[in-house]
Structure formats: C-alpha cells, structure tokens
Amino acid sequence: MMKSLLYSLCLGVTMWCLVSCNQELNIVGRLEKASPLVEEYADVQLPPNIASLNFLVKATDGQEGIVLTFGDIRLSAICKDGAMIPELDGWKALLANAKGNKIQVEHCVLTSEGWKAYQPFEIEVMQEEIDSYLAYRLIPPGYEMWNEMGIYQRNLENFEETTILNNTNSDRNCMNCHSFCMQNPEQMQLHLRAKHAGTLLINGGTITKLDTKTEQTISALVYPYWHPSGKYIAYSVNDTKQLFHTHHQNRIEVMDLASDVVVYDVEKNEVVTAPQLFNKEVFETFPSFSPDGKTLYYCASHQQKIPDDLEKLKYHLCAISFDPETRTFGDKVDTLYHAERMDKSVSFPRVSPDGKHLMFTLADYATFPIWHQEADLWMMDLQDGSTFALDALNSQSVESYHSWSSNSRWVVFSSRRMDGLYTRPYIVYVSADGTVGKPFLLPQSKGGFYEKCMNSYNIPELIKGKVDVNRHELIQQALSEEKKQVTSRI
C-alpha cells in the first residue's frame, strides 16, 4: 500500500515537472491587432549567448503566453509573476539555431475558446556574442547613508549571480568604482571607503591594497579608467558635495567643488599629471583612454560658484594625447564637444574597443547624471567628430552609465525608465556605423524580480569572464590596514 502510494506520488511529481517544463501552448485563433509587447520587444536584437529574455506583462498568472518559433523549433512560456520567460535550455537551443536570423514571436492570451495570438512580431539574434559576465554594485538608491552593499557578477548566459565582495565582510564599509582593464576579469580595481579605506588592485591573482591619497592631490583617487596596456589607470580626484532639492524632479544633486585628473603608474606606484589636467580653475573629471592608449579623454568645466551657479556647470568633452612610453601628455587640449555652446554637460566618455565611436552621457548641467531625469546617451563618431542622440535607447527617464563589450557590438547602460528611481541595466546592440537597436532589460530567472528588488544596479561593467579571485584573500586585503602608499610626481 505504502509502496504504491509512493509510486503514484513520484509519477505525479514527474508528470507535473514535465508539464511545467514543457509549457506547451496551442494557438487556436488569431487576434487582429498588434501585441502590446511590440513597442518594447519588436525588432529587439539579442546576443546569441544571452539568457532567456523576459517578456514582461501586467497579467494574471497563466492568462498570457508567448510562442517563439524558428524553423522547426518552437518554444513557449506562460506568464508567471508578470513575466513570460522561456525555459533556459530550450532558449539556448533556439538562439543557437537562429543565430544571424529572426525569431517569430507570438504573444497569446487565454480566451474562453483557448489560446489566441496577436499579430506576430520578430526579434533578431545577432551573430556577435556579448561578453559573458556583467559586474555591478548593488545598493539602494539612497542619499548619504548605507547599510549592506556589494559588488557582484552575473553570468549573462544564465541567471547565476555571485559575489565578488560584500561589505558584510568588511565592517559594512562603502565599496565602489569597480573597473576592469579592457573587460579583463583578471585586472580590476575597486575602492573601499570609510572603514578600511583604500584601493584594491587585483592583477592576475595578486591583490594589493593602496593608499592613494597624496599631499599634492585633493583626495584619494576616485573615478578610474584603465590604460589598455594595463600599466596605467587614469583617475580623477574630487572634492564632492551632495545636496538635496526641496522640489525638483531630480532628488539629489552631486557636484564637485574641485576636481583634477591624474594617471597612476601601476608598476611604479606613482601618479603623474599635466598642467592641463590639474588646473585649479577648471574642474577636470571622468578620464578615459582610447583603445590604442594614445589619447586621454576627459570632461572639464570652468569653475563656478557652488551651489548658486550650479546650473552653469557645463562639462566639455576634451581630449589630450598621452605617450605611454614616457608618461607625458600633449600640449594641446582638443574640445570635442563644447558643452557651453550646446548648453549641456558631458559625463562618462567611453570609447568603443574598436576605436570608432565614443559614447557619453549628456545632461543639462553638472556631473552626476544618474540623478538627472533628463540625462541621455549620445554617440560621437570619432572619424568625423559628429555627435547624435541615441534616440532608440533613450527614454523619458535617466540613461547614464554605460559600458562596451570587448567586440564593440554591445553596450550595457543604466536606466531608471522602469520607475524613475531604481537603476536597472539594459543591453543594446551597436552596429558598425554607431547606430543602436532597441534595448532590452537584463533578463532574470523569475518574473516580478525587478519589482521586488530594492537595490539599484550601479556601474554595470561587461567583462569577458568570471572574476575568480580568492575570496578569502580578497577579504583579508580589504580588512588589512597595511597599504602601499602611492607617491606623487606632481
């Protein structure tokens, strides 16, 4: 009796699993109108190695579904917790087969007569893969205080997220500005602030903790960008202040009272700079190198009275040549985008690894665009210097920090379009001429994930593989008060 009961139970569970996993959806009819998903998903371009796309809907569980078809392959998913998410293995097989082609998508609703489909639309699977990992910091979109935060990495080919470093292991200090050399997970740096302050430099398994504050610089090193050779890291140094609006669409304003740009020599453990980057009457910030390492891009604004003239703070996009052999800079500074003339302000200049395009964030003023609802992403064609707004991916809310994939075909960027406050990562295809496709939200394994997620995704950085540093050694170094003092040649 017991045996047969157990057998029936096992059989029932197996059947349930099979049914759940398969999620067969038989379409009995067609609705003569376009799916409400068209605006968000039609013609979206996907990397062939991405995890299952989440088709988000506001529907009761089981009432809507999706059928994806390419050739003989048919995959369906039924709505659960506000999303239709195809099963991962089936999705991977579908994408592998549809590489370079388009997949037909039929969005269905369950009627009294059965499943009926809207007019189908298509999504495209591109040839080029995206870098397999994404690193980011998770932190509530707060003001001054923090509690738990950490830097994590997500495998984009599935839904696995692992911790690189969490501040519960380092007395709840602040950690930020994780940065990688040319998307290389073996060369990275990140800052620790407040308790156990310092900069952790991870270079092929070796972890070094640096004290980056020197007498000549106004602060410890802040916004980083690696030289492609891995021998240098460009940094800004900033005296930053935060103020809060009493009635404004932007809750917070973060501004620099002073800032400069320096370059840190990793091998010699010293910082160098040039007068053009270290001018007391100019705020220089957000440095980044070109992929050939011979040009340093940065943002610069004339000094203004803060906070009264904050809206006059317009950061230009500038460039200066850099000789990595001699660590010297050119005499001339080129202004690539004249912010005052355009009445805008540039942040986060990032050159594509193929050197053809430069993406940047444009806001109305100042230098912390994540809190500017009007902030958008723009592109500069480095061949002819023309700039254009990336209308296909910009929204009514903020688009800000962005990161290129190593093949220059994909960009991850931060956006608050979902609710205006919580930052989410979006992925978009960039074609060779710099035009962008329709972005899609970083997929998750479950519907309702982002609704329940009370953290923002901060500084999303694409990396070619998993950061595989020894976790205990990283924690030990994070807690260590023994730091290598950075010297200055300023």
Among residues 343, 419, 468, 481, the one that binds other proteins under rule CB under 8 A: 419
Nearer to other proteins by Cβ, of 169 and 208: the residue is 169
- Min dist CB 178 to other proteins, Å, is 18
- Min dist CB 311 to other proteins, Å, is 11
Partners of 174 in beta bridges: 193
Among residues 36, 208, 239, 422, the one that binds other proteins under rule CB under 8 A: 422
420 binding other proteins? (CB under 8 A): yes
> What's the distance, Cα to Cα, between the start and end of the chain in Å?
85
Residues between 211 and 270 that touch other proteins (CB under 8 A): 243-248, 251, 253
**Contacts with other proteins: how many residues (CB under 8 A)?**
36
Ramachandran angles phi, psi of 10, nearest 5°: -60, -45
Q: Which stretch binds other proteins (CB under 8 A): 67-75, 165-173, 293-301, 338-346?
A: 165-173
61 binding other proteins? (CB under 8 A): no
Residues between 286 and 305 that touch other proteins (CB under 8 A): none
| 448 within 8 A of 54, measured Cβ to Cβ | no
| 412 within 8 A of 427, measured Cβ to Cβ | yes
Nearer to other proteins by Cβ, of 255 and 358: the residue is 255
Nearer to other proteins by Cβ, of 327 and 446: the residue is 446
Partners of 264 in beta bridges: 233, 271
Nearer to other proteins by Cβ, of 3 and 472: the residue is 472
* Spatial strand order in the sheet of 410-415: 399-404, 410-415, 424-429, 440-441
Task: Dump strand ranges (E) for 375-475.
Answer: 376-381, 387-389, 399-404, 410-415, 424-429, 440-441, 456-463
171 binding other proteins? (CB under 8 A): yes
Amino acid at 23: Q
C-alpha triplet 287, 163, 445: angle, nearest 5°: 105
147 binding other proteins? (CB under 8 A): yes
Nearer to other proteins by Cβ, of 78 and 306: the residue is 306
- Residue 440 and residue 427: Cα distance in Å, rounded? 5
- Residue 25 and residue 425: Cα distance in Å, rounded? 31
Nearer to other proteins by Cβ, of 2 and 454: the residue is 454
Classify burial at 314, counting beta carbons within 10 Å of its beta carbon; exposed 0-12, middle 13-18, buried 19 or more: buried
- Min dist CB 246 to other proteins, Å, is 5
Amino acid at 209: K
Residues between 87 and 146 that touch other proteins (CB under 8 A): 140, 142-146
Nearer to other proteins by Cβ, of 147 and 328: the residue is 147
Query: Residue written as tokens 């902030």?
Result: 375
Contacts to other proteins by CB under 8 A: 140, 142-148, 163, 166, 168-169, 171-172, 243-248, 251, 253, 307, 418-422, 446, 448-449, 451-452, 454, 471-472
